[in-house]
Structure 1
């Protein structure tokens, strides 16, 4: 990131603080929304895909799980690489994969190939959000601002915006060109992201904060030095840990008893390795002593169990249990994300982090209770009312969790910390996906929707308790929008 020089007229203040480099905003925003737009656009296409390929809801749930399985693993890994090498190379490589996934998905002859395309898509969307957070951290240091609050809010609002567009666009594309068009959309998005990244992201490493230890001195600036800072054994153990955990969460059956044991063994080995490593992939000593950040990750997991269960599970019920078309199902969910945009904007300007989290927690509880009151013969306006209520936590939680991580994380590990936030969100999505499949079985009926709502209510209450009894939150101030 290049420093800006300011030409001043006689009498003007010479030490005026540099401004945020606004040229970085478009690639940051586009990269960060590639994952959520692919999350939401397929929500209303699952039923048509199942009908076309002869797959049940439990089978099409793999299209959701595959994306988050790949992204949950890839986000912290790519985030750490961004911390070490800067965002440009990782951003360009990963967003190129988005286009590859779009081509494979568009031409896929069967469900297995579609799932493979979603895996590639998951890895392809890994770099956008950690790169954006790393660039913001670098801009914060360069400009002297604690946090560019305006851009942090913009990232949250952009995610809400694409969530609005996703179900509607998915319904329109499915109605006009079939479900394959929801995959084809990634081809132009990839071209645009790669072009913006190549033109606007800095070629030098602007964000990797200095670290100590072997391989980080002057000679480590090039050659093999940076490569020695990649903790490949730690990353491999983390992959085993996460994959075994997620595979069990997706299908928690007794005949998979070995997966929790493998998860536990990998967790122990990973912890031992990272405590001894000179340049650990995840510094468990620092992370273990950062209770506020760990509580933020726990809140993220609970919040996204609720959010994704509503996004996918409720959307499936509106089509199969209530009888709406994919386009109508997308329209029903639109108020959730429209309200979420408004809540994000309001919270970004006025809301403290603790107050925003409490509002989000109460909104989740209220929405789950309303969901339990719905049935196949409920009026359409009741579904829309539920979507409005769900918009409150949708807008409040994402912004507050993002701001929490930005302030609580080690500046030298902003990328990997942001990646871990998404990983815990994807763990929540895995729990939501498994809960949805277990609740519905072969048909998304009203009884299954109510069973899913009870699971969501449990996660919502947990989120609220974790927020209400967290004594560190009152001292965590929200970024001042005026300083952005």
Structure 2
């Protein structure tokens, strides 16, 4: 509830100078890039970590999955805590947690310890995005959409460039460097945040049940159950886990629908069918994207025996073409809406996954780069197209709810990608198993195309003022 005094403060605040706003956005952008960067940067280190800790790919899939489970749960929780206790406080606490995890992770003596420190990192980075975006909406009063667009592109770009950065670090150093690289980013973000972020007011007293602790616990059990089910597929479908997953999903829906402050607002989803389809499509898009982002580097290193620098250069195809295509797709969506661009992107990602079937033990690096470039182009279509469709489908007052669930959808997709990779590569990586992964991604791409075809003709079209 917004009080009259709050409205007075909101209407009388003055926006910072353009220079101060630039450095404030820089502080937030550097902080928010830590999650996607650390998400994808570690992809090229999987082979090295398997060798270091003497574990199979199934353990590596859990290294991915635990990070995303922690992120999916922590994002909305940290956003709520920022609203209650101060966004600047939560932003700085988040940076502190990332610092702690980046110091301890290189000292890990087992894959279990590394998972634990990565979970701390996930919680810390999850505090940065909601706090940072809240501060931007609080401070920036003009060109807000442009600013939010810059933040979105910055985050997507850091995720796409992560494998290339990781490849170079691994080539010239070792896997601990993937954590040490965070320190310059953390330091700059921290100094700018302390100096430029507006001071927090007094902490608010949370309403009874506002954090929905039972809903959070229910959600964790639900996600872990489905993880165990998907990881079990490699040795045969576990029908008990499938039944438990379906039962818990139905129970979670019924439970959250009755909550005054639900962890996942299922009533919002039920009342916005178009938005729900966007979330479903974004989950599927991220399954394919991160299956490629994590699976291809391991294949190139273990089967093709490329070094980390070569892998990093090849993975630039995904990030580079994604960056080039994104602004062009943005102009197209402004003119025609997002349906046709999303259909085009779906056809491209389907083509890219099928082209993975042409990779063999003697395929040239030029052709590998070309196939990855096709997949990189498709990412530029989907990220922007789905966001445009989402925000054109919800009222301004629902932006916060819609954005939070959109990020949760991303993490759900990445969680499922780790399960798919565990099923595909759990007993070793071969070219044949890569082709099996490609077929699975192609099937998912067909579903993505089907959902794109179901969009209204002018979905995501910009409503221009008369």
Aligned ranges 1:208-247 → 2 under 5 Å = 224-226=205-207, 229-247=210-228
- 1:249-299 deviations in Å (ceiling 9; x for gaps): 344466855544444444344333433333333332222101121111101
SS of 1:127's equivalent in the other structure is: helix
Equivalent pair of 1:67/1:119 in contact (CA under 8 Å): yes
Equivalent pair of 2:389/2:459 in contact (CA under 8 Å): no
Distance in 2 between residues matched to 1:5 and 1:318, nearest whole Å: 50
Q: TM-score, normalised by structure 1?
A: 0.84
Deviation at 1:41?
1.2
Does residue 1:319 correspond to 2:301, yes or no?
yes
1:27–1:227 distance in 2 versus 1, CA, 3 Å = farther
What residue in structure 2 maps to residue 379 of structure 1? 364
Aligned partner of 2:185 among 186, 189, 198: 189
Equivalent pair of 1:96/1:191 in contact (CA under 8 Å): no
What residue in structure 2 maps to residue 124 of structure 1? 124
**Worse-matched range after superposition: 303-312 or 404-413:** 404-413
Aligned partner of 1:446 among 431, 455, 459: 431
1:403–1:21 distance in 2 versus 1, CA, 3 Å = farther
SS of 2:44's equivalent in the other structure is: coil
Distance in 1 between residues matched to 2:256 and 2:209, nearest whole Å: 15
**Worse-matched range after superposition: 231-240 or 386-395:** 231-240
**Worse-matched range after superposition: 283-292 or 337-346:** 283-292
Aligned partner of 2:196 among 166, 181, 200: 200
Does residue 1:303 correspond to 2:285, yes or no?
yes
1:273–1:19 distance in 2 versus 1, CA, 3 Å = farther
Equivalent pair of 1:353/1:400 in contact (CA under 8 Å): yes
Deviation at 1:376?
1.0
Equivalent pair of 2:338/2:459 in contact (CA under 8 Å): no
Does residue 1:39 correspond to 2:39, yes or no?
yes
Equivalent pair of 2:70/2:123 in contact (CA under 8 Å): yes
Structure with higher RCO (Cα < 8 A, 6+ apart): 1
1:371–1:451 distance in 2 versus 1, CA, 3 Å = same
Distance in 2 between residues matched to 1:46 and 1:433, nearest whole Å: 12
Equivalent pair of 1:150/1:348 in contact (CA under 8 Å): no
Aligned partner of 2:167 among 164, 168, 171: 171
1:90–1:245 distance in 2 versus 1, CA, 3 Å = farther
What residue in structure 1 maps to residue 62 of structure 2? 62
Distance in 2 between residues matched to 1:330 and 1:41, nearest whole Å: 10
Distance in 1 between residues matched to 2:186 and 2:285, nearest whole Å: 29
**Long gaps (5+) in structure 2:** 1-9
Aligned ranges 1:131-170 → 2 under 5 Å = 131-135=131-135, 137-138=137-138, 142-143=141-142, 148-170=144-166
Give the aligned CA root-mean-square deviation in angstroms. 3.0
Aligned ranges 1:268-347 → 2 under 5 Å = 268-347=250-329
Deviation at 1:136?
5.2
Aligned partner of 2:418 among 426, 430, 433: 433
1:363–1:468 distance in 2 versus 1, CA, 3 Å = same
Equivalent pair of 2:391/2:460 in contact (CA under 8 Å): no
Equivalent pair of 2:385/2:460 in contact (CA under 8 Å): no
**Worse-matched range after superposition: 252-261 or 104-113:** 252-261
Distance in 1 between residues matched to 2:67 and 2:41, nearest whole Å: 13
**Worse-matched range after superposition: 223-232 or 461-470:** 223-232
1:413–1:184 distance in 2 versus 1, CA, 3 Å = farther
Aligned partner of 2:440 among 429, 438, 455: 455
1:110–1:33 distance in 2 versus 1, CA, 3 Å = same
1:355–1:459 distance in 2 versus 1, CA, 3 Å = same
Equivalent pair of 2:84/2:205 in contact (CA under 8 Å): no
Distance in 2 between residues matched to 1:33 and 1:233, nearest whole Å: 30
- 1:288-311 deviations in Å (ceiling 9; x for gaps): 101121111101111011101111
Distance in 2 between residues matched to 1:415 and 1:423, nearest whole Å: 12
- 1:212-235 deviations in Å (ceiling 9; x for gaps): xxxxxxxxx865354653333333
Distance in 1 between residues matched to 2:281 and 2:192, nearest whole Å: 34
SS of 1:42's equivalent in the other structure is: helix
What residue in structure 1 maps to residue 460 of structure 2? 476
What residue in structure 1 maps to residue 4 of structure 2? none
More helix by share: 2
Aligned partner of 2:353 among 332, 356, 368: 368
- 1:315-371 deviations in Å (ceiling 9; x for gaps): 111112222111101110102111101111222344233233223212101101111
Equivalent pair of 1:357/1:467 in contact (CA under 8 Å): yes
**Worse-matched range after superposition: 180-189 or 252-261:** 252-261
1:363–1:159 distance in 2 versus 1, CA, 3 Å = farther
What residue in structure 2 maps to residue 4 of structure 1? 14
